[in-house]
Amino acid sequence: MRMQRFVSSYASLMASDEFSAKVERLLAYEQIRQLASHYAVAVDSRDLDALVELFIDDVRVGRDTYGRDALRDSFAESLGAIGISMLNVGTHAIDLVDADHATGQVYCHGQIQDGERWIHQFILYRDTYERRDGEWFFVRRIHELWYGEEAPTSPLSFTPAEWPKNHDGLGTVPASWPSWTAFWANNT
């Protein structure tokens, strides 16, 4: 008898509009969080196709240019000006405006190769998101810098780690990403 009451209560809960709305909100939060994480991986691996797919198809690039092709060209130029990057996404505060619009702030610790220099940055992204056909995208991403500083030693000067033989030294990433190799083959 208890099990029947539990099943009946559970079924009522699952069918309620309130429950459905809460699940939709949770899904929105998680899908938006994944945008920031996928952005970091796409940037670091130089997977420009994956990167631009995170944005609405009519994304504004500059003052009067729109679309993912223009965004791809912009990313190719800016990412071609630096070497290795490592973006580590941290705090991500999301505010749902309505069922299809949201804003957010993302903290990110970046490590960036700038020629022979190695730079540590702490970045704040101010994001605008939109859901289209059930999928969340970036509408806009504003990159702000809390600080940047040159590291006293560049990890690029390390000898190869030859993991798992050694725990310290230079590893195989990002060169092990096919998209990284393809990016530099097309941008040199």
Residues 6+ apart with CB under 8 A from 72: 48, 49, 51, 52
Q: State the fold for domain 2-186.
A: Nuclear Transport Factor 2; Chain: A, (3.10.450)
Locate 1 and state its tokens: 């008898």
pLDDT mean across residues, the chain: 91
State residue 6's pLDDT score.
53
pTM of the model: 0.87
Residues 6+ apart with CB under 8 A from 141: 39, 125, 126, 127, 128
Q: Give the tens place of pLDDT for each residue, 54-110.
A: 999 999 999 999 999 999 999 999 999 999 999 999 999 999 999 999 999 999 999
Q: Give the tens place of pLDDT for each residue, 127-141.
A: 999 999 999 999 999
Other beta carbons within 10 angstroms of residue 155's beta carbon come to 15
* Helix (H) or strand (E) run with residue 124 in it: strand 117-132
Domain ranges of the chain: 2-186
Task: Give phi and psi for 61, each to the nearest 5.
Answer: -125, 110
Residue-by-residue DSSP string for 28-79: HHHHHHHHHHHHHHHHHHT-HHHHHTTB-TT-EETTTEESHHHHHHHHHHHH
Q: What percent of the chain has pLDDT over 90?
A: 74
DSSP letter at 159 equals P
Could you give the CA distance from residue 120 to residue 86 in angstroms, rounded to a whole number? 10
Place of tokens 């006293």: 152
State residue 139's pLDDT score.
99
